[in-house]
Amino acid sequence: MKEFTLSRKIGFITGPLLCIIILALPFDIINPAIDKVVAIALWMIIWWITEAVSISVTALIPLALFPLLGIGTIKEVASNYANPIVYLFFGGFVIALALEKVQLHKRIALSILKITGTKANGIILGFMIATGLMSMWISNTASTVVMLPIAVSVIQLLIDDEDGFTKNDRNFALSIMLGIAFGANIGGMATLIGTPPNSVMLAFLNKNYNVDIGFFQWMKMGVPFSILLMTITHFMITRVFYRNGLGTIGKSANIIQTELDKLGPISKGEKVVLAIFLITAISWMLRSYLNNLLPDITLTDTTISVIAALLMFIVPIDYKKGSFPLNWEDTSRLPWGILILFGGGLALASGLSQSGFIDMIGDYISQQEDWSMWVVTAVLIFLMLFMTELMSNVALVTILVPLVVGIAIGMDVPMLQMVIPVTLASSCAFMLPMATPPNAIVFASGHVRVDQMARVGVVLNLISVGLLFALAYYVIPVLF
């Protein structure tokens, strides 16, 4: 349990108090509808920033207060918590749970490490690629937790060798830890289900503006972007900031092989889960072609995701024993709070939109004739990227995406050119341990200091601003 710090105590009182004060004012600040939504939004923002209570608990506030204050009916508000994007992510979580249960994700990661060889920088790259690939499909936290003990075993080889733990050895240990954390953060950007902010953004656009981005359509942008950013990150870590000067680390291959041997031959359970996973991934990529080929059915990314989740419970591994990849008891490990967070974020965003708040922002921006779209986009990317170092990226995207959409509408520019890069910026948190769970996990290993992470992180943050700006200018207009 987190310590109930002074900042949390202050936030706990300030959030609802500010809401009550605004609602009790004898005059309108803007108009009654907007005032009510803004009052609740400020309460939620304060609790999200200070983490006075769990961010998922905060996400339940609209479900309780919106109907009470006449901001939509309970049916209308509750529909946000059952949005199709919520079920897209639910299916993704179930797939990830099955991968983890049969340890297929670990086998894939070890196989990648085996391919990348025993040279020091190759090992670092292997850890980054393996973590990034896992993070495309399972949570970045789980990806990091899987890779960390393997990395620690490799580092232990250097601690135990005859020359002791030299400066070069320490740089290698630091690089491998940073590589795992940053690889997990970067990998999540490649797919719609890789990190929650992507789906929060899509759900808002889909619900309020009928904007649909296909799974494969996103990957055509996300995968190359992730590869480019990961390549730059590897170069900055190993060639610029923390050169290790090490050659081959011979016994590392033995450690990787030992870990693979512990898994044993690929099991029937792994084969079943792998088959379902591959069919799901291919279906996501070929959805539009499948719909054209089979006109009597309608496939959506969410439908595919839910079918895959269902298959994990009903396709037998051993029919005689009644053995399946998952049983319902396994779902106790699902991050249900994230699904509630999606719903609360959508409810808040819908309230802001329907009350006229977003239109008001758009009207104000439309009057600023000397504002440049590209300057505004760059500033928004910069703000998102550095703010995400200090608070939950899901909560931040939930708060800022409606505002960014309002700005785009006011400037009469394609909203995706502003919204997508700003959303991706929320995943580019490289500076501080508290910014993301992977950063915190590798920091806890004892091989990374705050100043070491910040030193390379601030440069990667600035590079990310440039890459995201280029993405907005050159790539998004072509793909979307």
pLDDT at 245: 81
Pick from 222, 228, 231, 124: which is nearest to 180 by CA?
124
Q: What is the pLDDT of residue 108?
A: 82
For residue 21, the model assigns a pLDDT of: 95
Question: Global pTM?
Answer: 0.83
Amino acid at site 359: D
Query: According to the model, what pLDDT value does residue 221 have?
Result: 96
Q: What pLDDT is stored for residue 161 in this prediction?
A: 66
Residue 1's pLDDT is: 63
Q: Chain centroid to CA 379: how far?
A: 21
Q: Let me know: does 290 contact 283? Beta carbons within 8 Å.
A: yes
pLDDT in tens, the chain (480 residues): 668 888 899 999 999 999 999 999 988 889 999 999 999 999 998 998 888 998 889 999 999 999 999 998 999 999 999 988 889 889 888 988 898 899 888 888 888 878 887 788 888 999 999 999 989 988 888 888 888 888 888 888 777 766 667 888 899 999 999 999 999 999 999 998 888 899 889 988 988 888 989 888 999 999 999 999 999 999 999 999 998 887 777 677 787 788 888 889 999 999 999 999 899 988 988 888 888 888 888 888 889 999 999 999 999 999 888 899 999 999 998 889 888 988 888 898 888 888 888 788 877 777 777 778 888 898 899 888 888 887 778 888 888 898 899 889 888 889 999 999 999 999 998 988 878 888 888 888 888 888 899 999 999 999 999 999 999 999 999 998
* Separation CA 67–CA 74 (nearest Å): 5
Determine the pLDDT at residue 3. Answer: 80
